[in-house]
């Protein structure tokens, strides 16, 4: 494509770059257990969850902002890869890599949009605003639902304990008490079925 | 999950149902040509395109509304399946099936949300509002970009002609003159490389 304006070219290059998100696989399986989920599918699912479950946020939220956050939150994994939340050491290392990745990937966009996308991503990562707390809650709840519907596949494969489920996911309650209550019901069922160790 | 409120149960059932969107494959391939794209990945990509390219809409648009439309626009394909836009006969039949599908699938949600999602989907399908026209433009432009980057895979596989590219995609110009100009450059390159018949 010759003779296209520089700004539009940068935007198209960004749209091309992020196709790679469709090749980043997560640790959890699709509900029908046929294969692992990729980051693009995950982000899409979260965006619809924000639409459908937004009413359960503890605080008043701008659902459209939550949607934008979840849509872009995993783009950094193009460079940094997916790490399981239960592995605290990998998560700490990942954070440094993700900051570099955000600079590179969002930096493909024109400067004003780079700034906008990075601000949105940082707000999500900081988990402080009502929108970021709710986005974090559904980001954690979706794999819990996936585990529930796939015979607890990822929890079993990675030997996750009942205590870990509680400590790592507790912050769901900061975004939504209702969703956290539902998550706890799932943890208790998993314990009852001896799918996770105490 | 026993003892969960009826409203929340309906919403969770909807979130479970739409996982099937990840199993509906389109006619176009991912940019690295490794496999066909599914509807969830497509919807996610369009939502980010709305964010990155919204400034090129002909009319003033609410980008958040465009994002919501593209996120849900293909959910009806769970029942109705994916049909290629160049096959007008299948498209006409698909429309009847899609209306039924919308009733069933969005009907899993509580009544107020069913109404909201169906209204959004209908607005998208009618292509009349500024947001719907822009959503339709990026929905058409994304597979054009995919064809461009995958040696025109789908156009070649389905024997699409240069005239068809013009007549079927012309409405991109109603949403965005800039994106339509870019699409035409791609059509001309495809013709120059003899990848499509005149």
pLDDT digit string, tens, across residues B2-57: 678 999 999 999 999 999 999 999 999 999 999 999 999 999 999 999 999 999 99
In the numeric block, which tokens belong to residue B120?
A: 């959004």
pLDDT, residue A1, reads: 63
pLDDT, residue A2, reads: 62
Is the entire prediction scored with pTM above 0.90? yes
Res. B96 pLDDT band, cuts 50 70 90: confident
ipTM associated with this complex? 0.95
Between chains, do B48 and A11 touch, taking CB under 8 Å as contact?
no
A60 touches chain B (CB under 8 A): no
Min mean pLDDT across B1-5, B128-132, B148-152, B178-182 is at: B1-5
In the numeric block, which tokens belong to residue A99?
A: 């900051």
Between chains, do B113 and A52 touch, taking CB under 8 Å as contact?
yes
Q: Which residue has the higher pLDDT, A128 or B83?
A: A128
Q: Indicate if the pLDDT at residue A82 is higher than 90.
A: no
A177 φ/ψ angles, rounded to the nearest 5 degrees: -65, -35
Cα–Cα distance for residue pair B53/B56, rounded to 1 Å: 6
Half-sphere exposure of A33 (CA within 13 A, CB side): 8
Contacts of B21 in chain A (CB under 8 A): 44
Cα–Cα distance for residue pair B19/B6, rounded to 1 Å: 21
pLDDT digit string, tens, across residues B134-165: 999 999 999 999 999 999 999 999 999 999 99
Cα–Cα distance for residue pair A26/A23, rounded to 1 Å: 10
Cα–Cα distance for residue pair A81/B163, rounded to 1 Å: 43
Within 139-178 of B, beta carbons closer than 8 Å to A belong to 145, 148-149, 178
pLDDT, residue B186, reads: 97
Contacts of B148 in chain A (CB under 8 A): 1
Q: What mean pLDDT, rounded, does chain A reach?
A: 95
- CA-derived radius of gyration, chain A: 18
Contacts of A109 in chain B (CB under 8 A): 52
Q: Indicate if the pLDDT at residue B83 is higher than 90.
A: no
pLDDT, residue B42, reads: 98
Between chains, do A186 and B37 touch, taking CB under 8 Å as contact?
no
- CA-derived radius of gyration, chain B: 18
B111 touches chain A (CB under 8 A): no
Res. A155 pLDDT band, cuts 50 70 90: very high
Average pLDDT of the segment spanning A90-97:
81
Judge whether B70 and B142 are in contact, CB under 8 Å. Answer: no
Between chains, do B43 and A45 touch, taking CB under 8 Å as contact?
no
Classify residue A35 as left (phi > 0), alpha (psi -120 to 50) or beta.
beta
Contacts of A64 in chain B (CB under 8 A): 64, 67-68
Between chains, do A71 and B52 touch, taking CB under 8 Å as contact?
no
pLDDT, residue B1, reads: 63
Cα–Cα distance for residue pair A136/A8, rounded to 1 Å: 32
C-alpha distance from A90 to closest chain B C-alpha (Å): 27
Q: Which residue has the higher pLDDT, A185 or A3?
A: A185
Q: What mean pLDDT, rounded, does chain B reach?
A: 95
Between chains, do B68 and A68 touch, taking CB under 8 Å as contact?
no
Shortest CA distance from B148: residue in chain A: A1
pLDDT, residue A189, reads: 96
In the numeric block, which tokens belong to residue B52?
A: 């990155």
């Amino acid at each position: 494509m010759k003779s296209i304006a520089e700004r539009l070219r940068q935007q198209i290059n960004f749209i091309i770059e992020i196709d790679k998100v469709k090749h980043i696989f997560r640790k959890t399986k699709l509900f029908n257990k046929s294969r692992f989920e990729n980051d693009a599918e995950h982000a899409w699912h979260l965006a619809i969850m924000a639409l459908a479950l937004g009413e359960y946020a503890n605080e008043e939220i701008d659902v459209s902002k939550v949607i934008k956050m979840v849509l872009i939150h995993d783009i950094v994994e193009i460079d940094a890869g997916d790490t399981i939340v239960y592995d605290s050491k990998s998560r700490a290392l990942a954070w440094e890599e993700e900051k570099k990745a955000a600079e590179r990937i969002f930096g493909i966009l024109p400067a004003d949009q780079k700034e906008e996308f990075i601000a949105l991503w940082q707000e999500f990562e900081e988990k402080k605003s009502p929108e970021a707390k709710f986005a974090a809650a559904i980001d954690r709840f979706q794999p819990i639902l996936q585990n529930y519907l796939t015979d607890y596949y990822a929890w079993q494969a990675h030997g996750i304990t009942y205590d870990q489920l509680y400590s790592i996911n507790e912050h769901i309650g900061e975004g939504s008490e209702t969703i956290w209550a539902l998550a706890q019901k799932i943890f208790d069922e998993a314990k009852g079925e001896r799918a996770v160790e105490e």
